[in-house]
Copies of this chain bind each other. A is one copy, B any other.
């Protein structure tokens, strides 16, 4: 089954488009969790694994997908990457669509190596092994087609996906992405390229294995890009902590409430730091996370076309 179909099925099944980001940082772990482990890379990596599994268990059955930020695991050396591998596997075992946010980019056989690493398999002698087995990977297409096609060729036939940066939500994104090229901003040209690459890998859902990362801090851009990027799933960062609100992201969706996933990282997975949730749940950090995920689901249902999805989660909220 194609990645577009897999992701749309997961969204329909969950009844919402929430993507929970898992970005562990030593200074933000639940009290007691970091302290309980040995103060070295392996110990902290184990704390990250426990944390990641805890977030996954709090939101699985509730949301369709999770996204792991590779940088924080890489920061712990190979030990951190063992924790990342095991976290990805745990999330997959819970039925979630698992996105690795690594923003990888390179050309030719090097791009292929990244794709095989994270979405495919590596051949050793007469054996095939899957080193990481994520469902999708974020990429950066500054290198053009040569830096995208090898990823797509590996991902598409395996039902795996990619999300290519188009317009990011950070303030300085404008320094390059908003420059005017032939009368249009550069991000628009990037979107047209993404649309052309996506064209060949659409499946029966109407959506492609190639998605786009489109920031939520510029709502009019979301609407413009939704037009250009037919059949391309949006990964929308910037909800919550970065200042986006549900109304801002509404135009990322198609008429059925499909075609977009909305990411919150700190807002959900560090929700136990909120005073109100601390008062309610005390040290039970996983229930605070679940609470924040349900809030986000309800907020998107109330203010975006995602409300048209049959909300299983809503019944329990």
Question: In the complex where A140-B140, A170-B143, A177-B144 touch, is A75 in contact with B131 (Cβ < 8 A)?
Answer: yes
* Assembly CA distance A311 to B275 (angstroms): 65
Q: Which of A101-109, A198-206, A222-230, A278-286 forms contacts with chain B?
A: A101-109
* Assembly CA distance A107 to B145 (angstroms): 24
Q: Which of A4-12, A185-193, A292-300 forms contacts with chain B?
A: A185-193
A25 at the B interface (CB under 8 A): yes
Q: Is B182 within 8 A of A144, CB to CB?
A: no
Question: In the complex where A144-B170, A171-B146 touch, is A131 in contact with B41 (Cβ < 8 A)?
Answer: yes
A77 at the B interface (CB under 8 A): yes
Distance in Å from the Cβ of A147 to the closest Cβ of chain B? 7
* Assembly CA distance A304 to B105 (angstroms): 31
Q: A260: which B residues are within 8 A, CB to CB? A: none
Q: Say which residue of B122, B126, B175 sits within 8 Å of A75 (CB atoms).
A: B122
* Assembly CA distance A72 to B110 (angstroms): 7
A289 at the B interface (CB under 8 A): no
Q: Nearest 7 CB-CB pairs, A to B?
A: A144-B172, A77-B131, A144-B175, A39-B125, A71-B113, A75-B117, A145-B172
